[in-house]
Structure 1
Amino acid sequence: MAFPMKTCVVCGEEFELKPGKPGFANRCPECSEEDAANAGGNAGDGWKGDKGANAARREAMRNLLYRKDS
């Protein structure tokens, strides 16, 4: 069974798009591996660790949801 040929948007190399290939369908396996290695797994998690900001968010939501309009 022949797999479809795709062109990588990063490096321009042609590759076979096989089922179960990790990463994006428009990137070759080499570029997908580089992208996964650079991501580090913590992308966008910098604001989650601030407990003071989370407490302030919870307090603001509580005030908006349960305030009395009298």
Structure 2
Amino acid sequence: FPNIAALSFLDLIPAWVWFVSKIFLFLYVFIWIRATLPRYRYDQLMALGWKVLIPIAIANLVITGIVKVLV
């Protein structure tokens, strides 16, 4: 990584502070995204699963099988 010595001042911060700050950052982003995006109703989730996710999963199985046989 270029010029990593410029970040040497970060060694002064204790490891537990880094850990807690990363946890708070993750929680903030998670709560922000959850509050921003709309919630799906049960019928919308079922339609998504049957019409989108299952065909993608079957295509994934077929493609993986073809690649496994050819390679």
Q: TM-score, normalised by structure 2?
A: 0.33
- Which structure has more relative contact order (CA 8 Å, sep 6+)? It is 1
The structure carrying a bigger helix percent of its residues is: 2
Q: TM-score, normalised by structure 1?
A: 0.33
